[in-house]
Amino acid sequence: MTSPVLICRPGERGEALANALRATGTPVESLEVMALEALPESPAMRIAWLDIDQYDKVIVVSPFAAQCLSNALDRYWPQLPVGIDYYSVGSATAEILFDQLGVRVRIPPAASGQKGAVNEHGENTSEALLSLASLRDVAHQRILLVAGEGGRTLLADTLIERGAQVRRVAVYRRVFQPPSAAMQARLTTGDYQALIVTSGELLEHLAKWCDQAALNQPLIVSSHRLATLAGTLGFCDLKVASGATPAALAATLERSCNPKGADVDQGT
């Protein structure tokens, strides 16, 4: 029996990734080590939603943050105010905002294919989002950043350095748990085809259970930043997808399992 590909993306996005992989005939098992929980609305959140029309830009960092924002604005704004520019790191987040709120969303530019390009690898990252021309000159602009608890501070820090007034609202938390006994056994023995991880926090969490056999197995990540982190954690066989979408991850898995005639994606 073919060993499975292990994924750890929670919720509906995890199901979408699993379905995309299974459509190619790949067996999939979920590690189920993280859940996302919406935070109860605080007075600070309520003020942010009521004052949404006071912001020049709204940046939403993940699909779950987009869902939480959409639910909140539906309660307070039967009709959204105009004149706000919306941004997201990836297309999945943008799709939720468009479907739920009907707003157009700016996302990182595609790879230009030119050496030295800001988003040379075509990745959906905070760095790529910050390369947008409309986010370079933001002096005196008010920006609302909708995210989860913790996580990277690069977006807020950089925009503040560029002169913006940034308010960060955390709308959900990540809840981590150990892998099941069966999944711990797979990580100990390396009994799987590949591991797919698209979050630095998840990668650091999983590394606690990865023995050398697992560190030698293919690890597929969604950015070169994650590949660098993986290297520091001891992972040896790194494959970098062009983004975090199911299609990008499935394509990288296909190249990993069938390398003949295809370029090898090696993290650096």
pTM of the predicted protein model? 0.81
More confident residue, 102 or 10: 102
Query: Per-residue pLDDT tens for 126-153?
Result: 888 999 999 999 999 999 999 999 888 8
The structure tokens listed for 173 are: 């938390």
Number of domains in the chain: 2
| Same domain as 204, residue 160 | no
Identify the band that residue 1 occupies on the pLDDT scale cut at 50, 70 and 90: low
The DSSP-derived string for 29-80 is EE---EEEEEPPPPHHHHHHHHTGGG-SEEEE-SHHHHHHHHHHHHHH-SSP
pLDDT of residue 255: 87
How deeply is 94 buried, as exposed, middle or buried, from its count of CB atoms within 10 A (0-12, 13-18, 19+)?
Answer: buried
pLDDT of residue 12: 85
| Same domain as 145, residue 233 | no
pLDDT at 196 > cutoff 70? yes
pLDDT of residue 123: 54
pLDDT of residue 258: 65
pLDDT of residue 170: 97
Task: Identify the residue whose tokens are 């933001």.
Answer: 138
Task: Identify the residue whose tokens are 């999944």.
Answer: 183
pLDDT of residue 90: 85
CATH code, 230:
3.40.50.10090
More confident residue, 123 or 70: 70
Domain final residue, candidates 151, 174, 197: 174
pLDDT of residue 113: 33
How deeply is 198 buried, as exposed, middle or buried, from its count of CB atoms within 10 A (0-12, 13-18, 19+)?
Answer: buried
Residue 156 lies in a domain: yes
Chain-wide mean pLDDT for the chain?
Answer: 89
DSSP state of 171: E
Identify the band that residue 91 occupies on the pLDDT scale cut at 50, 70 and 90: confident
| Same domain as 133, residue 250 | no
Range of the domain at 80: 37-174
Rounded Cα–Cα distance for residues 164 and 87 (Å)? 15
- List CB contacts of 4: < 8 A, sequence separation 6 or more: 26, 27, 28, 29, 192, 193
Residue 262 lies in a domain: no
pLDDT of residue 263: 43
| Same domain as 147, residue 44 | yes
| Same domain as 63, residue 20 | no
Q: Judge whether 60 and 90 are in contact, CB under 8 Å.
A: no
| Same domain as 128, residue 234 | no
Residue 267 lies in a domain: no
The structure tokens listed for 133 are: 């021309």
pLDDT of residue 261: 42
Rounded Cα–Cα distance for residues 128 and 84 (Å)? 21
Mean pLDDT value of segment 9-13? 87
| Same domain as 95, residue 75 | yes
Give the lowest-confidence range in 33-47, 104-118, 152-166, 200-214: 104-118
Mean pLDDT value of segment 204-223? 94
Identify the band that residue 259 occupies on the pLDDT scale cut at 50, 70 and 90: low
pLDDT of residue 179: 95
Rounded Cα–Cα distance for residues 206 and 160 (Å)? 33
pLDDT of residue 83: 94
| Same domain as 44, residue 102 | yes
